[in-house]
Amino acid sequence: MELSRPMTISTTSPREGLETNYEEHKQKWAGGLQRVLCMQGGDDDGSYAKNSEAPASAITLSKPLLLTAIQSLNLKLFSRIEEEKDCCIRIADLGCATGYNTLATIDMVVECLRKKYIHECGVEPEFEAFFSDLPSNDFNSLFRSLPAATTRHYYAAGVPGSFYGRLFPKRKLHVVVSLSALNWLSQVPDAVLDKRSAAWNKGRAWINGAKKEVVEAYAKQSEEDLENFLRCRKEEIVHGGMLFMLMGGRPGFQHPENQLGDPDSSAKHPFATSMDQAWQDLLKMGLIDEETRDGFNIPAYMRSMEEVEVAIKRCGGFEIQKMEYHKIMEHSEEKHKEWIRDPVSYGRAKTNMVRAALRPIAEAHLGPNISEELFKCYEKQVSSDITLLHKTGFYGAIAACLIRM
């Protein structure tokens, strides 16, 4: 499908082709980030389903916290199962994407609750699971991958929409989880894209190591977003219900301009130097102009533990049961060994990860052909720097378990 489009990059005048392409794709952004942001759907090598190892590790590390929190829920406060024979427990996964993590998460929560009900109340309620994500998410793949209705213990429904707004009626939900999703902001702060502003983020695709004003603009957006998220969930979750958040984050001592921690983790992170260099390469090749490069910023922010705590307290209505910070190794040891033997496959794998997260928004900005060139430039960058292979990168994640008071 993509190849049937006119190849703007092969026109004799790249600028001329670029303008048509850029204008066309700018239209897509007109509806806002929520219309274009999603992980790459499907199940090919560049899909999120095939590139979600790091979020899977984050889930594994925070699983004990989630399960312990479910175990400690007060079912009497939470639902009136003895009085209501037709009791239904409603669970939502906000920012569910598609793939193994999505189904495994709901399965894990339902199983834990089901056993707890049987053990404590001698009855098994019905469960309804809401898979929620932005409308651009690949819900078709998700629904196709659901286990047959006869083999799962829950009814399933999809809820399209942004979790920075209301998604459910008041007091509808008992357990809400949001995993590796809240680090995506509702928008790129306007000032960052404004040439006249001190926060204009010229020459960078993201904020790691950016100037103070840029980082402050992102931090402010992140603060507003998290508060909006919490205020909406406060309405939607029943008293005694639970909100479990797992998000990319940083420890308190790490300043916000250092989003990624140690130098090796920064060097290897897909949003950092190699990504900026790939944009620079597109510019050098004459495929884009400076305006196009500077108009692209990744809407992600790694909050500190303190920033999360302040937002929770400011919102009110939740008690923090537990909060943890985890450092997650970017890849398994096995993969690392495999890549040392075959560095070319390292570049390819790393680029597929970046495609999985950024392709939809890069395409909306550049169109499919130039965005593919961007990923090729990225792959070249990563494959040519063998030193990266000998560095170990980590991701930071914050897990917080809250009870609705």
- Residues of the shown chain interacting with ligand SAM in the complex, contacts defined by CB under 6 A: 37-39, 52, 55, 59, 94-97, 101-102, 133-134, 137, 162-164, 179-181, 184, 186
Compute CA distances 193 → 26, 187, 206, whole Å. Answer: 14, 11, 12
Q: How far is the CB of 357 from ligand SAM (least distance, A)?
A: 7
Q: How far is the CB of 360 from ligand SAM (least distance, A)?
A: 8
Please identify, using beta-carbon distances, which residue of 164 and 375 lies nearer to ligand SAM: 164
Q: How far is the CB of 339 from ligand SAM (least distance, A)?
A: 22
Compute CA distances 99 → 144, 270, 381, whole Å. Answer: 10, 21, 29
Q: How far is the CB of 28 from ligand SAM (least distance, A)?
A: 15
Please identify, using beta-carbon distances, which residue of 55 and 125 lies nearer to ligand SAM: 55
- Rounded-to-integer distance, Cα 362 and Cα 372, Å: 9
Q: How far is the CB of 33 from ligand SAM (least distance, A)?
A: 8
Question: Is 39:98 a contact under the CB 8 Å cutoff?
Answer: yes
Q: CB nearest ligand SAM: which residue? A: 95
Please identify, using beta-carbon distances, which residue of 101 and 259 lies nearer to ligand SAM: 101
- Rounded-to-integer distance, Cα 209 and Cα 263, Å: 11
- Rounded-to-integer distance, Cα 389 and Cα 19, Å: 38
Please identify, using beta-carbon distances, which residue of 183 and 208 lies nearer to ligand SAM: 183
Q: How far is the CB of 41 from ligand SAM (least distance, A)?
A: 9
Burial 358-392 (b: 16+ CB within 10 A, else e): bbbbbbbbbbbbbbbbbbebbbbbbbebeebbeee
Please identify, using beta-carbon distances, which residue of 96 and 214 lies nearer to ligand SAM: 96
Q: How far is the CB of 61 from ligand SAM (least distance, A)?
A: 12
Q: How far is the CB of 330 from ligand SAM (least distance, A)?
A: 14
- Rounded-to-integer distance, Cα 176 and Cα 92, Å: 5
Question: Is 162:80 a contact under the CB 8 Å cutoff?
Answer: no
Please identify, using beta-carbon distances, which residue of 130 and 164 lies nearer to ligand SAM: 164
Please identify, using beta-carbon distances, which residue of 21 and 52 lies nearer to ligand SAM: 52
Q: How far is the CB of 34 from ligand SAM (least distance, A)?
A: 6
Q: Give the distance from CA 29 to its chain's centroid.
A: 19
Helical spans, DSSP H, in 81-196 = 100-121, 139-145
Rg of the Cα atoms in the chain: 22
Please identify, using beta-carbon distances, which residue of 93 and 294 lies nearer to ligand SAM: 93
Q: How far is the CB of 405 from ligand SAM (least distance, A)?
A: 25
- Rounded-to-integer distance, Cα 382 and Cα 255, Å: 27
Please identify, using beta-carbon distances, which residue of 138 and 281 lies nearer to ligand SAM: 138
Q: Taking Cα atoms as reference points, which of 143, 139, 63, 145 lies closest to residue 105? A: 63
Please identify, using beta-carbon distances, which residue of 18 and 182 lies nearer to ligand SAM: 182
Question: Is 176:89 a contact under the CB 8 Å cutoff?
Answer: no
Question: Is 129:154 a contact under the CB 8 Å cutoff?
Answer: yes
How many C-beta atoms lie closer than 10 Å to residue 321's C-beta? 17
Question: Is 276:203 a contact under the CB 8 Å cutoff?
Answer: yes
Q: For the chain, how far is it from start to end, CA to CA, in angstroms?
A: 51
